[in-house]
């Protein structure tokens, strides 16, 4: 794949995991020896949650969903125009697009330039909209996905649930390839030093409603009432940030909980390494949350809800699973891990090996490109 020219497209991404994901894909392609041109609707600014960058986002969130969607469609068409201009100089051999709900940019460019298209479909948009009680232009979404997927050499999805969802929208079954989230090879940590001090539990990432950070805060409060001197570190921001802060105050947890706010990627990884136990309290049943790969890469024992999409990635012996939404079970799981250093080390080492062997971005994107017809010599499958 050395020298393969990849045009990487995105339209609108968030300021946390979405932006980190796009940056990681760009870096992994570069590590594979590809030349990458990155074109998007706005600069990638992960972790910026204040100032001039934040004000337009707050305004957009106050608009009706259909207004935001129409604006996003307009941004996608702008991305197509920008990408076309970039293509005149860059002359891509393949287009990799992180598809938005109605985004025809990659489809239009692939047809116009005669260049193979690879689609990346994140967790189903409908699932997130449903959780928030929002709607979407379902017919338009289905038509764009179906047409783009039939043009694409491969369609990368993050989970089996996502694959089934998009198959029902009309994506040909032979196009799919699984592209979990992951880590860059150079983010895999070496052996951990011995642990000292009181146990530290943590959560890293967006405080979205479906992550149920409130459940974790309640669990830590109960552990402390039981006499365990645990503390909690919450890294990141999100829509539930202020609600969680109010909960911490209401439970009188005081110095037992530390909010870092938004921090850089390097600071995030360092914060994970300071933990003894890293938690995903809850998630949607469709994706493969990035935070779990980050936890595993830094050799920290993980706790997560026992959902099929997570089991399909992590299997047995890598994560301490608990029944989703069960506060008592979460408390018991955390107590067991906090009290058993050997169990923590066994889980952490098993998860680290799994990520190192299967879930680096370099390995996964290399497989996506091979499935698209680009082998070590950079040859392309006819379109």
340-354: per-residue pLDDT in tens? 999 999 999 999 999
Domain containing residue 92: CATH number: 3.40.50.2000
263 shares its domain with 128: no
Q: Count the domains in the chain.
A: 2
Q: Which of the four pLDDT bands, split at 50, 70 and 90, describes residue 66? A: confident
For the segment 296-324, the average pLDDT, to the nearest whole number, is 97
* Partners of 204 in beta bridges: 235
pLDDT of residue 51: 43
For the segment 15-28, the average pLDDT, to the nearest whole number, is 87
104 shares its domain with 253: no
* Residue 378, domain member (yes or no): no
Which bin fits 178, alpha (ψ -120 to 50), beta or left (φ > 0)? beta
319 shares its domain with 367: no
133 shares its domain with 218: no
222 shares its domain with 104: no
137 shares its domain with 201: no
* Of 13 and 112, the one with more pLDDT: 112
Global confidence as pTM: 0.91
Residue 62 CB-density burial (10 A; 0-12 exposed, 13-18 middle, 19+ buried): exposed
Q: How far, in Å, CA of 288 to CA of 350, rounded? A: 18
* Of 364 and 51, the one with more pLDDT: 364
The number of residues in the chain equals 383
Terminal CA-CA length for the chain: 18
For the segment 108-131, the average pLDDT, to the nearest whole number, is 90
pLDDT of residue 123: 77
247 shares its domain with 338: yes
Backbone angles phi, psi at 5, to 5 degrees: -95, 115
367 shares its domain with 343: no
Can you give the residue range of the structural domain that contains 265?
Answer: 192-358
83 shares its domain with 231: no
35 shares its domain with 136: yes
Q: Which of the four pLDDT bands, split at 50, 70 and 90, describes residue 189? A: very high
Q: How far, in Å, CA of 152 to CA of 44, rounded? A: 25
Q: Which of the four pLDDT bands, split at 50, 70 and 90, describes residue 52? A: very low
pLDDT of residue 63: 84
67 shares its domain with 141: yes
* Residue 251, domain member (yes or no): yes
pLDDT of residue 380: 39
pLDDT of residue 377: 36
For the segment 138-166, the average pLDDT, to the nearest whole number, is 95
* Residue 198, domain member (yes or no): yes
pLDDT of residue 192: 84
Q: Which of 115, 135, 165, 112 is nearest to 8 (CA)?
A: 115
Q: Which of the four pLDDT bands, split at 50, 70 and 90, describes residue 383? A: very low
For the segment 17-37, the average pLDDT, to the nearest whole number, is 93
Q: How far, in Å, CA of 286 to CA of 192, rounded? A: 32
pLDDT of residue 50: 44
* Residue 379, domain member (yes or no): no
Q: Which of the four pLDDT bands, split at 50, 70 and 90, describes residue 59? A: low
Instruction: Report percent pLDDT > 70 for the chain.
Output: 92
pLDDT of residue 47: 64
Q: Which of 292, 293, 330, 288 is nearest to 309 (CA)?
A: 288
Task: Give me the chain's average pLDDT, please.
Answer: 90
Q: How far, in Å, CA of 38 to CA of 43, rounded? A: 10
Written as six digits, the tokens of 65 are 């969903």
For the segment 189-201, the average pLDDT, to the nearest whole number, is 83
Q: Would you say residue 128 has pLDDT above 90?
A: no
* Of 194 and 105, the one with more pLDDT: 105
pLDDT of residue 83: 96
Q: Would you say residue 327 has pLDDT above 80?
A: yes
Q: What is the pLDDT of residues 204-260, one digit of tens each?
A: 998 999 999 999 999 999 999 999 999 999 999 888 999 999 999 999 998 899 999
* Residue 381, domain member (yes or no): no
């Amino acid at each position: 794949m050395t020298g393969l020219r990849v045009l990487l497209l995105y339209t609108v991404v968030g300021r946390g995991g979405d932006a980190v994901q796009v940056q990681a894909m760009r870096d992994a392609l570069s590590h594979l020896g590809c030349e990458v041109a990155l074109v998007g609707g706005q600069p990638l600014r992960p972790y910026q949650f204040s100032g001039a960058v934040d004000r337009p986002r707050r305004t957009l969130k106050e608009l009706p969903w259909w207004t935001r969607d129409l604006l996003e469609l307009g941004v996608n068409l702008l991305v197509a125009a920008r990408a076309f201009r970039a293509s005149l100089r860059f002359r891509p051999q393949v287009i990799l697009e992180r598809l938005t709900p109605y985004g025809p940019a990659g489809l239009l460019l692939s047809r116009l330039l005669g260049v193979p298209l690879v689609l990346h479909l994140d967790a189903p948009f409908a699932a997130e909209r449903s959780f928030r009680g929002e709607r979407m232009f379902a017919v338009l979404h289905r038509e764009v996905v179906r047409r783009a997927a039939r043009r694409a050499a491969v369609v990368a999805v993050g989970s089996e649930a996502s694959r089934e969802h998009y198959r029902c929208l009309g994506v040909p079954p032979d196009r799919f390839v699984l592209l979990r989230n992951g880590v860059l090879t150079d983010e895999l940590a070496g052996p951990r030093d011995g642990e000292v001090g009181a146990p530290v539990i943590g959560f890293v990432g967006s405080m979205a409603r479906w992550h149920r950070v409130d459940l974790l805060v309640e669990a830590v409060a109960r552990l402390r009432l039981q006499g365990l001197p645990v503390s909690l570190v919450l890294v990141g921001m999100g829509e539930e940030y202020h609600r969680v802060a109010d909960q911490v105050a209401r439970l009188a947890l005081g110095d037992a909980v530390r909010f870092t706010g938004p921090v850089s990627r390097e600071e995030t990884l360092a914060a994970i390494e300071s933990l003894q136990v890293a938690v995903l309290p809850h998630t949607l049943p469709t994706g493969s949350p990035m935070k779990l790969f980050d936890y595993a890469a830094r050799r920290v024992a993980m706790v997560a809800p026992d959902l099929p999409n997570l089991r399909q990635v992590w299997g047995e012996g890598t994560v301490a699973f608990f029944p989703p939404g069960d506060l008592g079970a979460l408390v018991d799981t955390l107590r067991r891990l906090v009290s058993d250093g050997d169990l923590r080390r066994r889980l952490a080492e098993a998860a680290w090996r799994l990520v190192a062997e299967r879930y680096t971005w370099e390995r996964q994107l290399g497989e996506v490109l091979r499935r698209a017809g680009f082998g070590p010599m950079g040859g392309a499958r006819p379109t």
